[in-house]
Amino acid sequence: MNYYRLLKLLYIADRRSLQKIGRPVIGGRTVAMDRGPLHSTMCDLIKGSDPESPGWFLNFRTDAYEVEMVQDPGNGELSRYEIDLLTSITAEFMQDDEWAVGEKTHEYAEFIENKPPKGSCRTIPLASIVRAIGRADNWEAIERDATEVAVFDQVFGR
């Protein structure tokens, strides 16, 4: 799969999950770039510049702009909800090429609000995404949950 497409589909999945249940699938830092929003850690994994990239490359290989699975990592860390969400988003955008999927993310209010100057990037605060999806009334609970997950991941090296 083209990795631009993968990054966009994962961003859409996180956004939808936040909207539906108040919790992302991936979480972490999101950034706005010329070509739209994405997860910076996921992008760094794919490009090989994240400290966890060696583990990623046990299961996936990046060749130019394509990501190929070389060994099935399984889905044991995903819930049934997350698997169903990812499957549904993949099916929804099956007929669209990577550029059409990317253009969809350019319509998101949090991207428009945080659009960086050409050639740069800007962090998209979680609060901006939460407002854009209409969950501002749940902000405190969403922020608390995101903080707890980040601390857990840091402590346990996930």
Confidence at residue 147, expressed as pLDDT on a 0 to 100 scale? 78
Helix H or strand E segment including 33 = strand 30-33
CA distance 53 to 90: 24
Can you give the residue range of the structural domain that contains 62? 3-156
Confidence at residue 3, expressed as pLDDT on a 0 to 100 scale? 94
Instruction: Name the pTM for this structure.
Output: 0.91
Using DSSP bridges, classify how beta strands 122-124 and 60-63 pair: parallel, antiparallel or unpaired.
unpaired
Domain total for the chain? 1
CA distance 111 to 91: 24
Q: What is the pLDDT of residues 17-64, one digit of tens each?
A: 999 999 999 988 999 999 999 999 999 999 999 999 999 999 999 999
Residue 75 pLDDT exceeds 80: yes
Confidence of residue 7 (pLDDT cuts 50, 70, 90): very high
- The mean-pLDDT minimum among 12-16, 24-28, 80-84, 92-96 falls in 24-28
CA distance 38 to 31: 6
Confidence at residue 45, expressed as pLDDT on a 0 to 100 scale? 93
Q: What is the pLDDT of residues 105-153, one digit of tens each?
A: 999 999 999 999 999 999 999 999 999 999 999 888 988 888 776 666 6
Residue 6 pLDDT exceeds 80: yes
Is residue 45 a contact partner of residue 30, using CB atoms and an 8 Å limit? no
